[in-house]
Amino acid sequence: MRYCSVASGSNGNCHYIESGEYRILVDLGLSARQIEDGLKSVGIDPASINGIFVTHEHSDHIRGIGVWARRYKVPILATAGTWKGMERSLGPVSGELAVTIRTGKGYRLGDMRIEAFSIYHDANEPVGYCFESGGRKIAVMTDTGMVTSDMKHRLMDCDLAVVESNHDVDMLMHGRYPWPLKKRIRSNLGHLSNEDCGSILAEVFVENARGTFLLGHLSEENNRPELAMETVQTILEERLGERKDSVFLTKRGAPTDMFTLP
C-alpha cells in the first residue's frame, strides 16, 4: 500500500491511498485543479483515481468533488447524512456515481477492504476511514472532538495513520476567534489539539511501536507546524521516555512524500 497526504489543513484536505491497481482519494477539499496538480507532482495520474470517499460535508473536505465527479466520472462514497449535507454544494452528480455507505460495514475494492467509522464532529454523519490490504492498514482520523477507546484501538492496529493535531490550546484561547467558535473547536464535536494528539499517540505507541503517524488538519490561525511537532514530541518524551522519528507533519495545500508500506 502507498499513502500520500495531497493536502491537509483547515483550508483543504485530500488523502491518496493506493493498493495494487486501485487508487482512491479521501476528501477533495481544494479545487479539482489544485488536487490534479498535487497528484501529478507525486507522479499520480488524476485520471487513474477509482473513487472518492468523503468524511463529512464541510467545505474544506468537499470543495472540488462536484467538478471531479463530472470530469472523471468516478463514484463518490459518503454516508447518508453527508450526502444530505453536501448535495446542494456539489452541483449535479449523476445518480450511479452517488454511493451511500454505512459505518460498521466493510467495502471491497480489489484486494482492499474499506471501513467507515463514526467520529465526533459538528457535521451530519461524519466518519473516519480504515483501509486494509495484504495485512497492512491505513487510517484517516481528523475532524473529531474526541477519540474513543474504539478509535484508539483502530490506531493501535494501523501501520500508518493520519491523526488530527488542529490547534495549540493557548494560541486558540488567546487568539482572535470569537468565543463561540473557540468553544466549538474545543468541544467534543470540534477538533483535537496538539496536546490531545500527543496524549493519544503516547497511548497508541505503547501498543503499536511500528506505526507511522502523520499530524493532520493543522489550523492556519491557531497552530504552527513546528509547534505541533514539538508539543507532540514533548508529550511522547514525557510519557514514553523517547521522541519518535516515525511521526511526520502533513502540509497545507501541498503533498507530503509518498509513504510506502512494505
Give how many residues touch Zn ion by CB under 5 A: 3
Instruction: Say whether 71 sits in a helix, a strand or coil.
Output: helix
Q: Does 58 bind Zn ion (CB under 5 A)?
A: yes
Joined grid coordinates for residue 212: 507511522
Q: Site residues for Zn ion, window 3-32 (CB under 5 A)?
A: none
Q: Does 63 bind Zn ion (CB under 5 A)?
A: no
What order of strands is seen across the sheet that includes strand 14-19? 98-101, 76-79, 51-53, 22-26, 14-19, 2-7, 259-260
Rank residues 36 and 143 by Cβ distance to Zn ion and give the closer one.
143
Contacts (Cβ under 8 Å, ≥6 apart) of 77: 51, 52, 53, 54, 99, 100, 101, 107
Among 60, 164, 168, 196, binds Zn ion (CB under 5 A): 60
Among 143, 159, 168, 196, binds Zn ion (CB under 5 A): 143
Among the residue ranges 51-59, 108-116, 146-154, 206-214, the one whose residues contact Zn ion (CB under 5 A): 51-59
Q: Does 57 bind Zn ion (CB under 5 A)?
A: no
Q: Tell me the C-alpha distance between 17 and 152, whole Å.
A: 21
Rank residues 112 and 123 by Cβ distance to Zn ion and give the closer one.
123
Asked whether the beta carbons of 139 and 128 are under 8 A apart, the reply is: yes
Binding residues for Zn ion, per CB under 5 A? 58, 60, 143
